[in-house]
Structure 1
Amino acid sequence: MGAAWIVENEHTIIFTPEFSPSSSEFQSGALDPREIGFMINNHDRITEFVESLRLNFPISKQAVFVSQKIREFVAKIEVISSDSYVLKVSNPIEPNTNLSIENHSLITSNINSDQIDNFSKSSSIHLDKFLKELQEGRLKNEEILILRYAIDTARFNLGVGWRTTGEIENIKTWEDVNSLNSTLSNKYDDLMRRLGFKKLTEVSELTGYNNPREVMFIQPLIDVLLDPPAFLYEQIEKVVSENIQSLPVCDTTEQDDLPF
């Protein structure tokens, strides 16, 4: 850290979970504590960091692929952070006590495996129901358009609450680029409530008052969007074509009356 500061190389401060930037050790360290850093499990900030590396490193241009890899990385960090919490809270280590890796794995598996299995089964049931409704043509246009928006932009985390306005602006830009009408942007707020009711999203970020400000699609749905089956892709394309913005019809009356 000191060497990076002395030679003034480009650098970024990345904090691990549970690290406190206000700690005395960091405040008196080699790097300027006033610099803005980010937590290593913050998906959006990692995405920004990866984008900043494109100037000097060969980063894949496939946004969906990059987003998937970042998501997998964050998931691994969350597991490590969760395991650390379990060790400290559920099984505090006394002085002179040895804790092997095998014991550590046993502790986490006993606590989490049943909960994870139940959640995965429940998520799959909700996704299967959603896909069945799609095949039977019982979904609303906005429910299908949001899938295309997520695929095109690699955004599986969506703003709600006070972040709704910003997300709608992003959607409007996407609609303009794809010459789409405003079906999705106009109905976004109601749509997110409907997806939540169908258990297709889960809260991923809260405000300081514990109100949702961001939700993410359930993992099984994300996996499907990363590699859409043929029937899903065909249905999405059909709805997109039906929502192409109509071009204004020009009045050619006067032109027809001209002698040439």
Structure 2
Amino acid sequence: MKYFISHSSKNLHYGESIVQLLIDIGVPHDDIIFTSKSGFGIPKGENIFEWLKSQIEDKPFVIYLLSDDYYSSVACLNEMGAAWIVENEHIALFTPGFNLNNSKYNEGAIDPRKMGVFIDNKYDMLEFVTLISKNENRFIKPVIIDQAITSFFNSIENYLHNGNSVNNHNSINRGINETKEESKLHTPVEVDENSKSLYIKFSDSIKEKKLSDEELLLINYMVDIGKTTLGDRWMAKGEVQNIRNWEEINELNNYLSSKYNTALNKLKLRNFLDVYSKTSHGNPREFVLIESISNHLLDLPSNIQQVLTKTKEKYHEGSINTMDLPF
């Protein structure tokens, strides 16, 4: 499927970041249409209006990057109208600080009742990536998604701090404040002595076999896919599905997926996890390994890796776990 990013040239940086996000999750370069960037825009020698018309008539998935600049541009509004007439599938991405009460937005071709996504909201962008993966009809590894989303937000943050105008700076700050209640992201801090001692506790707990099998399997899962965050509450459902995919790939039974909540709660009680993001009501919905542990997740000592590997081998399909037998 092709993706057409309809945008104002004044929002070039945001558009470039979206292009890179699509590439990072596996969308081919040739399937991305972004007229402001060389290699993704109008071929040399083509009539700009005829080329755009042909692209829209081919019914690509349209990504509307909406801003006050977009609605102030006659060319953008014509572009939106042309895509709307052809009835292209689409999604609205809102730039930071975009006012949803903008009269042009509420009276325009795009139905304001349909889901839109704020590009400075982590959960919103995860929903966007999920939508793209469905369009592509393929599974994207969580570690790839994590890396792509992290890179995307770093790009947005760099734009905020480097060379952005005062007006845009204030606009982005407003956008961040507006979404802060919905998505309170964990901000990494320098590793303190308490964090270091927790890593020692984490290491010793594994070596001394103080962790349950479900905890060890959950750590195995995180190590294998390079994932440091875990979903809770309604986000646990998606996490369990990812674990089932991991179990299937590794030919494991469903022990971890059936014990996920138990494993998560045990790691929380041991203080190995910190809150990563919260709901609008202030309840945790994602947890993250504390930094001193996550920093070593992919290079754990060999004696710890051996414990994890042996635990994983116990739950290969067809093997018998005597702990579950009634005798």
TM tier, smaller: 0.5 to 0.7
Evaluate the alpha carbon distance shift between residue 133 and residue 209 of structure 1 in structure 2; reply closer, same or farther with a 3 A threshold.
same
The separation in 2 between residues aligned to 1:234 and 1:47, in whole angstroms, is 35
Other-structure match for 1:64: 143
Q: Is the 8 A contact 1:171 1:184 kept in 2?
A: yes
Give the AA of the match of 1:148.
N
Other-structure match for 1:21: 100
1:181 matches 2:253: yes
Superposition pairs for residues 8-87 of structure 1, below 5 Å?
Answer: 8=83, 11-29=90-108, 31-40=110-119, 41-43=121-123, 44-48=126-130, 51=133, 64-74=143-153, 77=156, 80=160
Q: What's the Cα RMSD here? A: 4.1
Evaluate the alpha carbon distance shift between residue 26 and residue 156 of structure 1 in structure 2; reply closer, same or farther with a 3 A threshold.
farther
Evaluate the alpha carbon distance shift between residue 51 and residue 172 of structure 1 in structure 2; reply closer, same or farther with a 3 A threshold.
closer
Pair member with larger Rg? 1
Moved over 6 A (4+): 85-88
Give % identity: 27
The separation in 2 between residues aligned to 1:22 and 1:153, in whole angstroms, is 41
Evaluate the alpha carbon distance shift between residue 173 and residue 86 of structure 1 in structure 2; reply closer, same or farther with a 3 A threshold.
closer
1:228 matches 2:299: yes
How far off its partner does 1:11 sit? 5.0
Question: Aligned residues, how many?
Answer: 216
Give the AA of the match of 2:270.
K
The separation in 1 between residues aligned to 2:291 and 2:265, in whole angstroms, is 18
How far off its partner does 1:27 sit? 1.9
The separation in 1 between residues aligned to 2:193 and 2:147, in whole angstroms, is 22
The separation in 1 between residues aligned to 2:95 and 2:206, in whole angstroms, is 41
1:6 matches 2:81: yes
1:246 matches 2:322: no
Aligned-partner SS, 1:13:
strand
1:199-229: CA deviation from partner (whole Å, max 9, x where unpaired): 222223434433323323334444434x334
1:3-25: CA deviation from partner (whole Å, max 9, x where unpaired): 44234266532224443434435
Give the AA of the match of 1:140.
S
Other-structure match for 1:137: 209
Q: Is the 8 A contact 1:64 1:151 kept in 2?
A: no
1:105-126: CA deviation from partner (whole Å, max 9, x where unpaired): xxxxxxxx9x933x65544432
Deviates most, 204-213 or 187-196 = 204-213
State the TM-score, normalized to the length of structure 1. 0.61
Aligned match for 1:116, one of 151, 175, 189: 189
How far off its partner does 1:87 sit? 7.6
Aligned match for 1:216, one of 288, 301, 305: 288
Aligned-partner SS, 1:26:
helix
Specify every segment of 5 or more residues in structure 2 that has no aligned partner in the other structure, as ranges.
Answer: 1-75, 162-168, 175-186, 321-327
Specify every segment of 5 or more residues in structure 1 that has no aligned partner in the other structure, as ranges.
Answer: 56-60, 89-112, 249-260
1:150 matches 2:226: no
How far off its partner does 1:239 sit? 1.4
The separation in 2 between residues aligned to 1:16 and 1:219, in whole angstroms, is 30
State the TM-score, normalized to the length of structure 2. 0.51
1:158-194: CA deviation from partner (whole Å, max 9, x where unpaired): 3323444554455345434433234323432222222
